[in-house]
Amino acid sequence: MSTLTIHALDSVTEKRIRAKAQKEKKSLNRLLKEMLSGAVGVSGPSRVESHRAEFQEFSGIWSDKDLKEFNQAISDLERVDEKDWQ
């Protein structure tokens, strides 16, 4: 295996990487290897799984009331006006 060095990494990126490693209880080295191999398509979750994971925190947070209000708000979008399709 080879060694890579990243020069002049901005502080925001560094903080986010460190926070992610801490959250996932992984070493920086392990996390970065996983991120790099996943980014170039060598390993890691599929693109669909990655996309789902990005939104996991929002899954299942609506109440029945929230869902009802949302469906009422978009109900006009479900109506088809035949004149538009002439």
Specify the 3-state DSSP secondary structure of 11.
Answer: helix
Q: Each residue of 40-59: pLDDT tens digit?
A: 877 766 666 777 788 888 88
pLDDT at 13 over 90: yes
What's the whole-model pTM score?
0.49
Domains of the chain, by residue range, sit at 13-77
Write down the pLDDT at residue 53: 80
12 within 8 A of 2, measured Cβ to Cβ: no
pLDDT digits (tens, 9 = 90+) for 16-35: 999 999 999 999 999 999 99
Rg (CA), the chain: 22
Determine the Cα–Cα distance for residues 82 and 86; give it in Å rounded to an integer.
Answer: 7
Backbone angles phi, psi at 35, to 5 degrees: -65, -45
What's the rounded mean pLDDT across residues 53-75? 91
